[in-house]
């Protein structure tokens, strides 16, 4: 059954489009990445962010701080990057070590360089329907849904999850695509019934395989944002990645579905690159490249 939405392939296409947009610009956008501590997954993500930034023709700067870094030290780096006219985008890799206040660090980022779309200004622009920098994972989810369905106008989109980082912005971004949006969550009554009413079901709850195949309407498009590490049965002592959807069974019901891994995850980095170009254009009063429109 060919109903898999290939996030790796769409991410590669998105990076190609970003590279074309960069090649046509009169400037070279610069992304600064801040990594605090030595979380192994964060190190991999940051390595890939830097690699793809450079592969798409942009410049990257990397700032690494030890896990013992103080709030003041992290904030000082962000402030220095805010003041550096060469820097177009600032990304602070999350999660930060527990003793640091992530919200306070994010609040320091100059909104014009907020390529993660996480500052209050970016969130406010999204709510108000104003142009701005949208969060990367929700953007990737919209691009994948469009890759499967084309125009999303009038589709009923159910977003399962209401986190500030993913669920809420995803709901608003599907609304921007003229979907009729329902936000569902752990206290929603008849959750399976609500989910089964969706043309597009976006799962962002962070609970492994919570969404069962019976929750999926026949032919629906399922976007699984969950990336959960669970113990591997085949390889004791090791972990494997699963989404929020029971993929194997849901795949036989859905019209289109993203896998985990290989679905929304790779789009997160591709959309970060896209945001870096958009931030560079906005800051330098260059029109946003038409080919980067969603
Ligand atoms: N500042 C940010 N921090 C974090 C973000 C973010 O968007 N901004 N998101 C995640 C981590 N993340 C990017 O930073 C990210 C997560 C997952 C993937 C990805 O491609 N996942 C693969 C599987 C990779 C694996 O084997 O572990 C997949 O799903 O196929 C890319 C980026 C939290 N922090």
Q: Quick one: which atom of ligand 1 is closest to the CA of 229? A: 27
Structural domain spans, the chain: 23-112, 136-266
ipTM reported for the complex, 2 dp: 0.98
Fold of 23-112: Rossmann fold (3.40.50)
Question: Long-range contacts: 246-249, Cβ < 8 Å, 24+?
Answer: 246/209, 246/211, 246/212, 246/213, 247/209, 249/212, 249/213
> In this structure, are residues 220 and 229 in contact, taking their beta carbons and an 8 Å threshold?
no
Instruction: Determine the pLDDT at residue 1.
Output: 64
Residue ranges at the known binding site = 161-163, 227
Q: Which of 23, 48, 209 is nearest to 136 (CA)?
A: 48
Judge whether 156 and 198 are in contact, CB under 8 Å: yes
Task: Tell which atom from ligand 1 comes closest to the C-alpha of 41.
Answer: 27
Its pTM surpasses 0.95: yes
Taking only Cα atoms into account, the Rg of the chain, rounded to an integer number of angstroms, comes to: 19
30 CB under 6 A from ligand 1?
A: no
Task: Name the stretches of the chain with pLDDT < 70.
Answer: 1
60 lines ligand 1 (CB under 6 A): no
Testing ligand 1's pocket by substitution, the residue of 94, 167, 239, 273 carrying the most ligand atoms inside 8 A of its CB is 94
Cα separation of 217 and 60, whole Å? Answer: 43
Nearest CA to ligand 1 atom 22: 265
Exposed/middle/buried for residue 288 (C-beta within 10 Å: 0-12, 13-18, 19+): middle
The pLDDT assigned to 67 comes to: 98
**DSSP class per residue in 101-158:** -HHHHHHHS-GGG-TT--SHHHHHHHHHT-S-PPPHHHHHHHHHHHHHHS--TT-EEE
Catalytic residues: 49, 93, 116
CA of 166 to the centre of ligand 1 (A): 12
For residue 93 and ligand 1, the question of a CB distance below 6 A is answered with: yes
Fold classified for 136-266: Rossmann fold (3.40.50)
pLDDT in the model for residue 245: 98
Strands 221-224, 156-160: pairing is unpaired
Phi, psi of 43 (to 5 degrees): -60, -40
Name the phi and psi angles at 203, rounded to 5: -100, 115
Q: Does ligand 1 come within 6 angstroms of the Cβ of 208?
A: no
Compute the distance between CA of residue 50 and CA of residue 59 in angstroms, rounded to an integer.
Answer: 9
Cis before 44? omega within 30: no
d(CA 27, CA 35): 26
* Residue 48 in tokens: 């890939």
DSSP, res 67: T
The reply to whether domains 23-112 and 136-266 share a CATH topology is yes
Tokens of 264: 């929304």
């Amino acid at each position: 059954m060919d109903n898999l939405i290939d996030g790796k392939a769409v991410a590669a296409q998105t990076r190609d489009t970003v590279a074309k947009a960069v090649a046509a610009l009169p400037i070279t956008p610069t992304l600064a990445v801040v990594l605090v501590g030595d979380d192994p997954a964060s190190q991999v993500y940051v390595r890939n962010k830097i690699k793809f930034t450079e592969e798409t023709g942009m410049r990257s700067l990397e700032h690494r701080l030890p896990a013992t870094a103080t709030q003041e030290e992290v904030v000082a780096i962000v402030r220095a990057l805010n003041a550096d006219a060469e820097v177009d985008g600032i990304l602070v890799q999350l999660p930060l070590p527990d003793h640091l206040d992530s919200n306070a660090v994010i609040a320091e980022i100059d909104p014009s360089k907020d390529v993660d779309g996480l500052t209050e200004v970016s969130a406010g622009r999204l709510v108000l329907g104003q142009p701005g920098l949208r969060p990367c994972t929700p953007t990737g989810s919209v691009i994948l849904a469009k890759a499967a369905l084309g125009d999303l106008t009038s589709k009923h989109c159910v977003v399962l999850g209401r986190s500030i980082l993913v669920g809420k912005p995803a709901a608003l971004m599907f609304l921007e695509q003229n979907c009729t949006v329902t936000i569902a969550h752990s206290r929603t009554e008849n959750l399976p019934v609500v989910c089964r009413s969706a043309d597009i079901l976006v799962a962002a709850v962070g609970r492994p395989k919570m969404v069962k195949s019976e929750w999926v309407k026949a032919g629906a498009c399922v976007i699984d944002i969950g990336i959960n590490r669970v113990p591997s049965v085949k390889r004791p002592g090791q972990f494997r990645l699963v989404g929020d959807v029971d993929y194997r069974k849901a795949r036989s019901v859905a019209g289109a579905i993203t896998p985990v891994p290989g679905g929304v995850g790779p789009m997160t980095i591709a959309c970060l690159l896209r945001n870096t170009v958009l931030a560079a254009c906005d800051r330098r009063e260059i029109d946003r490249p038409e080919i980067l429109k969603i």
